[in-house]
Chain A
């Protein structure tokens, strides 16, 4: 399962990668330190580069998580069911949780750090949908 971790905090990316490896969630994990980089990469080759799962941080300079989601909105119809976005944030702000509900592409909202339990839930959800 192709998985991207988008977070400007490299420690966070590192932790996400390690947990996913431990859970044997994915063999193909790629981290991006900025949302813009991730977006450009996806746009480069739309067919090949769209991942199955994206772990997206919200609080990033320049293009934050919401901006990234807004940038993907035009491709929403093609992405739905194919690409699952999980917001992975340190934020405990409930307004962020509420806001994430407005985005169809967002499959879940996870508070950092990502745990094995979180990954189990995600796997179960994806299997349900599939």
Chain B
């Protein structure tokens, strides 16, 4: 084999020559490698025998061209191999006139076709991805001019491809964003992939936010341009904004809670810590959120907390308790509210308050063995603590009073409401003060107490508590009441004594003086003279007058003496009135008078019958005595019940009346008269007796009168005399 033959033998390409008839004349050995045929199996056969039928036409056309003297290169068709596979071949061919043959070389193009198909597919795929990408995509060449944009781009920016291709990004971006884009572009051009945000104002003036990725497009190790994929994240940004705002709001709320606040999730993990909680509980938000609460506060050391928390969680009820926090030397007031999300816990540092209370309690203990009662209330007046002395005095224990205002529990029916008002006003002033008040024990007994109330102020000067020291002054008040009663009795006795002195010096002395004068006259006069007879008759009259006065005095004294022991019974008012009326009926009728009685509203009164009789008798008798001559006497008697159960009797006439202003306090005085007429025979004892009787029954009497119009008496008799 010469060298030329060897070259043919080892070449991977198949060399062959084809005659004008289209038959292989000579085929190189490579036929075996490429098609599986030995050269002799192909030689002498038409090349169309091996051709894929669909390639026959193009192959014949190519042959015709070659034969005309035009060399052909890179022509492709496919042959059937011996085993039936289709083998793509790539041909180079040229006509040789001398030999009258086509000299060809064929190469196995399987790999080439495959590669070309793959390339084709990937181009298609890329195209599809590019066009149909829901994100905005645009391509810039390495000079920064847009070379392509996708459909999403056109939709978003409201532009056609033709509007932007060949133009810089500033054609569709705001100048600011174009600047950002340019910077990113330059970096991408330098080989980096980077992310940035594009903010675009839409045609509807909506602010759209895009998350853009810019990366270089590399071909043949050269950066040929930059592709940008921008994802519309407006909705995400908005919801993120909303979430940020809400969490800020929530945070503000938590921070605005002056109490320390933490929230635990259902797994005891700390979800929220506000800044007060960081301070009081020595927590760190960065470090402790998400941590198991039980790790920070081991249940072994914080038993009470967990007892309460577990109670809250299992029952679903909130808990409220006060407990020492030894680690920090604090007292905490804890409120825990369970919910589906976990447990919200508020801590309030009440160390100062508790210390103050403990201090007060210690101080009060000193006094607890005494009879003084101590109440400690908070600034609002709600009881926090009472000592034993208080319980001994009033019967109420701390548990019964705690959380209540002392006044609500202790005050009762007879407690003076004016004093209560004064106390609440003084409490507001915030100064120490004393008050004396009637309170009621748990058993319902009345207790007079002297209360010293002192406000306790905290460091900032604000009132934190009130301390009330109560002393039982019932004994003193009773003594005082007794004293007052005695004083009143003495005063009355003294007044009576003065009145009797007056009676003696005037009313008794007057007839005595007359008698003396008459006796002296009688001794000088002759018997059987007119003067003697006159003097004698008047002497008798004077002595009778003396006797009357003595009787009056005796009668008055007997009433006064019985003051404390009057017998009362249920008395029928109309019956007693009629009794008195029947005695005076004759006089009333003879002067043409009438009596109108309206007493059906209060038939019965618990009082003394004879006094009531005396009252009616004297009033009737006065009405007759002091009747007006100008009109016929009319007496009206009415009675009604007051709301407090007392009975009021109104007794009025249309008589002469008197000048109330002039008479003043003398109306009811003994031997005071207000009429000078010779026709009237007033002795000045009637109204005195009426008043005395009314007062002995515990009642009151008032009078109104107008001269020549009439007089009205109002008598009030209390329910129980």
Contact = CB atoms under 8 A, between A and B. Distances in A.
A22 to B, nearest CB: 8
Contact of B676 (A36, A91, A113, A114): A36
A91 B514 contact: no
Interface in B648-688: 672-676, 678, 682, 684
Given A33-B678, A113-B513, A15 B518 contact: yes
Contact of B518 (A11, A111, A114): A11
Contacts of B517: 11-12, 15, 19, 112-114
Contacts, number: 76
Interface stretch (B94-102, B429-437, B502-510): B502-510
Chain B residues touching A, majority SS: helix
Contacts of B507: 59
Contacts of A22: 524
Contact of A9 (B514, B521, B675): B514
Contacts of A24: none
B674 A62 contact: yes
Contact of A113 (B520, B524, B672, B678): B520
A57 B436 CA distance: 54
A9 B510 contact: yes
A90 B541 contact: no
B504 A61 contact: no
Nearest to B672: A61
A14 interface: yes
Interface residues of B, number: 30
Contact of B673 (A19, A61, A93): A61
B619 to A, nearest CB: 19
A114 B513 CA distance: 9
B673 A92 contact: no
A91 B518 contact: no
B516 A113 contact: yes
A80 B635 CA distance: 50
A82 interface: no
Most buried by B among A11, A19, A34, A36: A11
Contacts of A8: 676
Nearest to A67: B662
Contacts of B520: 113, 115
Interface in A61-118: 61-62, 89-93, 96, 111-115
A15 B510 contact: no
B509 A91 contact: yes
Nearest to A7: B510
Most buried by B among A36, A60, A90: A90
Q: Which of B510, B674, B682, B684 has the most CB of A within 10 A?
A: B510
Contacts of B534: 14
- Max chain A CB contacts within 10 Å: which of B504, B505, B534? B505
B675 A90 contact: no
In order of increasing CB-CB distance, the 8 nearest A-B pairs are A113-B517, A112-B513, A61-B673, A15-B517, A90-B510, A90-B509, A90-B513, A93-B505
